[in-house]
């Protein structure tokens, strides 16, 4: 080809390419223009903040009003909880209904759990002034991972996102989602993007020390606020072209409240969180939207004020409406998006089977025989929740999860009960102090060890040690006889040494020591969750000696042997100053020489207490009585009346009698909620009582007696507290202070169930 021909061919090719480009330019310009008009992907970032996080719901309500869709969500702590619900397809109205309807006293304060406990568990804890428990493991004495029992929190989260939990990848949720936690092992941020959604939210809000951490593989996960309380970078990595950040703002710290060691220690975590927040907020770019919600006096722990935070979030979002509206879409487009992502969390199915997994000590047969959900039942999220809460109230379980396997229409319900990591060897301790102006000063230091599930039927080895006004060393073997723990036997041996004052005509004349070596064999039956009956044989070698003072009752070393029968009923909502419920006890003792003793006597005693709520106050009514059944009751076995438990205005054990009856009523005004969510409160109370006594061992006047008292009492951070003054028609009066575990056991009213 000639040179000129090649030039003409090259020229034609250039002209063709240029013409092609010119022809295609309008289309290319049209595509570029369309991209510039496309909606940027919006990432929602929800900060942690405990109770303050309810404000996120208010922001979401305004975003829905403005038709701002969300393409992905990253949240920490309470932000992870709200964000997880929204990502699961729950609209803002549903979130508002959910958070406003939470019973925080039950969820965080575990109020109501006692009513779900088996009766034997109620009896074991009836006189404890605290619910703190330690464990004995190979590593030594250990404590729980958190001060707050989280079983109700776990159950709440599982119910909240019941349907979304079925998705293993958080990318497959209606809105892609990430929760932020802190790995306490490697001191790093963990972005949770798969697994059980409820577990991820729970890990993100596991405040160290308060809530137990969540273990996933080798990671020990706590609250994500320690490392990333406002996870802007996580949202950008997930999907976001722009981010909408909801920042929860507290007032600046008051220097006057940062002087003591405890105040500074409390402020330390706030400083750490604010530092990582500031780094993330500094990374915001033009086009990002920052919604600052000013929380006023609402703090992280004010869970009962969560509904009050929603209007604060709404107000803050409306103030930023112009910036938020930049990412709004037309109503038809928003409606289509909202319909596409909205998903119900309700589950309803007929069960093909029920199984239990993951138990090491607790026999699954026990849970099965006591369970209320069976194969063939039609269940929903509420039914599953109630059953999970009932099981989680058992002393060996920390929480109870579940999984639905197989056919969604007829699934297998697999329960996932988690045993306490610090079990099955448990330690509990208690302290009680009692003092009166007339010279009574006594204390009790008490410890109890229990080893549970020593065999497949749930045997327990129980050991008690107490020092103070009464020394006690006891050991027993509690053996259920069936899988449901309905029937049981309990052999027990004990040594006790009690020092008690004895009175004549209201005057303290002697102090006696009562020493007992005893063996007891009880058999019994549990009658549902509230009642128990026992019968047994007792052999007691007793030594009665005068310590100081005059001899009013004879010194002796008798052996008492015979049988006992007892019945207890307890439906109280709490172990001290109950707000509702009833307590009842009946006891009969029959001793005779033909059964191995050297004395013949018998006595019977009963007590009844009823708590009636009235507003935030309490009305408590009691009746009690005891009798020697017209027998010859030894003086050292007489009923001992006196003290705030049995008859205010009398000193502890001031009247020792062969028979008595008493009736009284107390009204307690709520004067101060110390911590409502934990059911801690102070009450101002007044009590009036009347009754009669018979066959006094000091040969004093028998007959009617009346009395009354005024007092301040309550459930406090240090346990039960009572300070009061009382008087009787016998010209006796007394003022007293009682802290913690009850001291004195002269009548049935001083048993733990009548506190």
Q: Catalytic residue among 71, 77, 151, 501, which?
A: 77
Residues of the chain where predicted confidence (pLDDT) is lower than 50: 1-37
Class of domain 348-419: alpha beta
Query: Across-strand partners of 548?
Result: 511
pLDDT score for 710: 96
**Euclidean distance between CA atoms 755 and 739, whole angstroms:** 12
- Where exactly are the structural domains of the chain? 42-106+149-341, 348-419, 425-750
At 313 the pLDDT is: 97
CATH assignment, 42-106+149-341: 3.40.1090.10
**Rounded to 5, what percent of the chain is helix, strand, coil?**
30, 40, 30
**CA–CA distance, 72 with 396 (Å, rounded to integer):** 40
Question: Is 540 annotated as catalytic?
Answer: no
- Catalytic residue, chosen from 154, 183, 196, 223, is 223
Q: Are 381 and 160 in contact (CB under 8 A)?
A: no
How much is the pLDDT for 615?
83
Strand partners, 334: none
Q: Is 77 an annotated catalytic residue?
A: yes
Q: How far is residue 366's CA from residue 257's CA, in Å, rounded to a whole number?
A: 52
Question: What pLDDT does 663 receive?
Answer: 95
Cβ-proximal residues to 30 (8 Å cutoff; 6+ apart), any chain: none
- The Cα angle at residue 47 between residues 46 and 48, in degrees rounded to 5: 125
Separation CA 525–CA 204 (nearest Å): 44
How many Å apart are CA 740 and CA 319, to the nearest integer? Answer: 52
Residue 602 to residue 174: CA distance in whole angstroms:
72
Residues 6+ apart with CB under 8 A from 358: 416, 417, 418, 419
Q: Which of 747, 671, 750, 755 is nearest to 712 (CA)?
A: 671
Name the helix (H) or strand (E) containing 105.
Answer: helix 104-107
The answer to whether 744 touches 652, Cβ cutoff 8 Å, is: yes
> Taking the model in full, what pTM does it have?
0.87
CB-based contacts of 339: which residues, under 8 Å, 6+ apart? none
Residue 324, SS3 per DSSP? helix
Specify the CATH number for 425-750; select among 3.40.50.2300, 3.20.20.70, 2.40.160.50, 3.40.50.410. 2.40.160.50
Q: What is the pLDDT of residue 181?
A: 97
How many C-beta atoms surround the C-beta of residue 11 within 10 A? 10
């Amino acid at each position: 080809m000639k040179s000129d021909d090649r030039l003409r061919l090259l020229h034609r090719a250039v002209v063709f390419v240029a013409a092609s480009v010119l022809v295609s330019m309008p289309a290319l310009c049209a595509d570029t223009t369309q991209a510039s008009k496309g909606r940027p992907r919006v990432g929602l970032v929800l900060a942690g903040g405990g109770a303050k996080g309810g404000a996120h719901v208010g922001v979401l309500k305004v975003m829905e009003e403005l038709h701002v869709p969300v393409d992905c969500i990253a949240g920490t702590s309470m932000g992870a909880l709200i964000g997880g619900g929204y990502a699961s397809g729950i609209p803002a109205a549903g979130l508002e209904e959910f958070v406003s309807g939470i019973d925080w006293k039950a969820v965080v304060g575990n109020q109501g759990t006692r009513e779900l406990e088996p009766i034997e568990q109620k009896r074991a804890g009836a006189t404890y002034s605290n619910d703190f428990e330690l464990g004995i493991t190979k590593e030594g004495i250990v404590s729980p991972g958190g001060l707050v029992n989280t079983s109700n929190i776990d159950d709440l989260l599982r119910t909240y996102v019941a349907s979304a939990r079925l998705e293993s990848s958080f990318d497959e949720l209606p809105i892609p989602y990430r929760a932020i936690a802190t790995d306490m092992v490697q001191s790093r941020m963990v972005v949770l993007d798969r697994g059980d959604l409820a577990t991820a939210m729970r890990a993100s809000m596991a405040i160290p020390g308060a809530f137990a951490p969540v273990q996933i593989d080798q990671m020990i996960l706590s609250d994500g606020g320690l490392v990333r309380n406002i996870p802007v970078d996580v949202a950008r990595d997930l999907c976001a072209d722009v981010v909408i950040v909801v920042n929860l703002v507290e007032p600046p710290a008051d220097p006057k409240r940062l002087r003591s060691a405890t105040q500074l220690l409390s402020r330390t975590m706030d400083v750490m969180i604010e530092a990582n927040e500031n780094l993330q907020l500094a990374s915001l770019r033009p086009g990002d939207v920052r919604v600052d919600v000013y929380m006023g006096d609402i703090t992280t722990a004010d869970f009962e004020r969560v509904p009050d935070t929603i209007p604060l979030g709404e107000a803050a979002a409306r103030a930023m409406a112009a910036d938020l509206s930049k990412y709004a879409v037309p109503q038809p487009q928003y409606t289509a998006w909202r319909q596409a992502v909205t998903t119900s969390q309700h589950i309803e199915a007929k069960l093909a089977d029920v199984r239990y997994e993951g138990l090491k000590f607790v026999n699954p047969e026990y849970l099965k025989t006591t369970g209320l959900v069976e194969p063939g039942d039609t269940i929903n999220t509420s039914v599953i929740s109630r059953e999970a809460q009932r099981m989680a109230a058992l002393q060996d379980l920390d929480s109870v999860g579940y999984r639905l396997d197989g056919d969604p229409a007829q699934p297998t319900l697999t329960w996932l009960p988690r045993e306490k990591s610090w079990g099955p060897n448990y330690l509990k301790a208690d302290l009680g102090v009692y003092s009166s102006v007339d010279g009574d000063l006594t204390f009790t230091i008490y410890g109890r060890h229990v080893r549970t599930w020593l065999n497949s039927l749930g045997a327990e080895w129980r050991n008690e040690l107490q020092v103070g006004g009464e020394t006690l060393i006891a050991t027993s073997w509690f053996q259920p006889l069936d899988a449901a723990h309905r029937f049981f036997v309990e052999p027990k041996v004990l040594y006790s040494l009690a020092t008690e004052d004895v009175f004549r005509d209201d005057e303290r004349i002697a102090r006696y020591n009562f020493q007992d070596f005893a063996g007891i064999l009880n058999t019994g039956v549990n009658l549902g969750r509230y009642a128990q009956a026992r019968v047994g044989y007792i052999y007691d070698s007793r030594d009665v000696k005068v310590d100081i003072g005059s001899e009013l009752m004879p010194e002796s070393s008798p052996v008492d042997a015979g049988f006992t029968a007892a019945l207890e009923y307890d439906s109280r909502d709490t172990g001290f100053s109950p707000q509702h419920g009833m307590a009842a006890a009946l006891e009969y003792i029959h001793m005779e020489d033909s059964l191995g003793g050297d004395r013949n006597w018998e006595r019977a005693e009963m007590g009844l207490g009823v708590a009636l709520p009235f507003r935030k106050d309490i009305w408590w009514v009691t009746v009690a009585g005891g009798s020697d059944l017209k027998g010859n009751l030894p003086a050292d076995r007489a009923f001992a009346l006196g003290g705030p438990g049995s008859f205010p205005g009398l000193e502890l054990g001031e009247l020792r009698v062969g028979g008595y009856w008493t009736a009284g009523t107390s009204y307690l005004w709520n004067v101060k909620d110390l911590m409502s969510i934990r059911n801690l409160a102070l009450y101002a109370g007044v009590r009036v009582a009347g009754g009669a006594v018979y066959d006094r061992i000091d040969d004093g006047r028998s007959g009617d007696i009346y009395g009354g008292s005024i007092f301040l009492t309550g459930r406090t951070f240090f346990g039960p507290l009572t300070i009061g003054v009382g008087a009787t028609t016998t010209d006796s009066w007394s003022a007293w202070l009682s802290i913690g575990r009850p001291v004195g056991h002269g009548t049935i009213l001083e048993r733990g169930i009548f506190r």
